[in-house]
Amino acid sequence: MIGSALRPALEAAGHSTCALVRRIPRANEIAWEPAAVLKSTNLHGFDAIVHLAGKNISGLWSKTFKRQVRQSRVQGTRRLATAAAESYRQTGAPRIFVAASAIGYYGDRGDEELTEASSPGAGFLADVCQEWEAAASPAVDAGIRPVQLRLGIVLSKNGGALKAMLPAFRLGLGGSIGDGQQFWSWVTLEDVVNAFVFALANEGLSAAVNVVAPQAVRNREFVGELGRALRRPSFFPLPAFVVHTLFGEMGDALLLASARVQPVKLQAAGYRFTHPALAEALGAVLR
């Protein structure tokens, strides 16, 4: 979802792009399987790498599923970072390695305000995010500027959490999840794309950067705004025990956990959000 929006945005800004794909490549594409070694020569001539690949975390979190989620992020990142490091030592490029991460790094933290300086949390997602970010170390050790964008809940009607919520809410069957007091740190897809472009161009940004709107909201407020945007009621709650029964560990981590995250480094670097407030953001996304 993000890559499909980012690539045309980069090209519209005058950049040329090439995609790494897991199928027969077409023009401006390179075939690569993230579990396989990538030849450094494939990266010669490129100024920057943007790494977004990773298995979707929605599903039944069995041991096998969690292993696949972890491997898809950690192994793929390490192989790509290794190839980038070799290319950099040979040619002096790429100079920038921008990779996706997630605010799952912080775990379930209640009302605590979280910044890039906050400690990691506990649990599966927090562990994966720590390993995911550490897997870029070959590029970092080689002298490439690393940026790891910790993404919040990305709002798009074409994918992600919002798309999954829309059918119930359009029928007037939406409502708060659990007690509705957990903080959801959200960001529009447009701001995610803009943040990636900003990170590529801004030499002052490196290491972990939170990509969330500056106004995290409680789940109760989020669903209320979504109902108003759709002109539908939103008073059908989804109790915590139902979430746990239906979705197990995934539901606890993605729906009931609370993360009140602030985009401190992004704003300090001068980034201005296109959609800083939830009501306006949902209106723009749903249009």
pLDDT of residue 59: 86
Cα(186)–Cα(269) distance, rounded to whole angstroms? 20
Range in 128-132, 157-161, 198-202, 280-284 with the lowest mean pLDDT: 157-161
Report the SS3 class of residue 267: helix
pLDDT per residue as tens digits for the range 60-83? 899 999 999 999 999 999 999 999
For the chain, list the domains and their CATH numbers.
2-286 (3.40.50.720)
35 has pLDDT over 90: no
What are the C-alpha distances in Å from 251 to residues 96, 126, 143, 244, 273?
35, 15, 39, 6, 29
Mean pLDDT of all residues in 100-105: 98
Cα(208)–Cα(211) distance, rounded to whole angstroms? 10
Predicted model pTM: 0.96
Share of the chain above pLDDT 90, in %: 95
CA 250, 155, 102, 216 dihedral sign is negative
pLDDT per residue as tens digits for the range 208-267? 999 999 999 999 999 999 999 999 999 899 999 999 999 999 999 999 999 999 999 999
51 has pLDDT over 90: yes
How does DSSP assign 53-110, residue by residue?
------S---HHHHHHHHHHHHHHHHHHHHHHHHHHHHHS---EEEEEEEGGGG---T
Which residue reads 């720590």 in tokens? 130
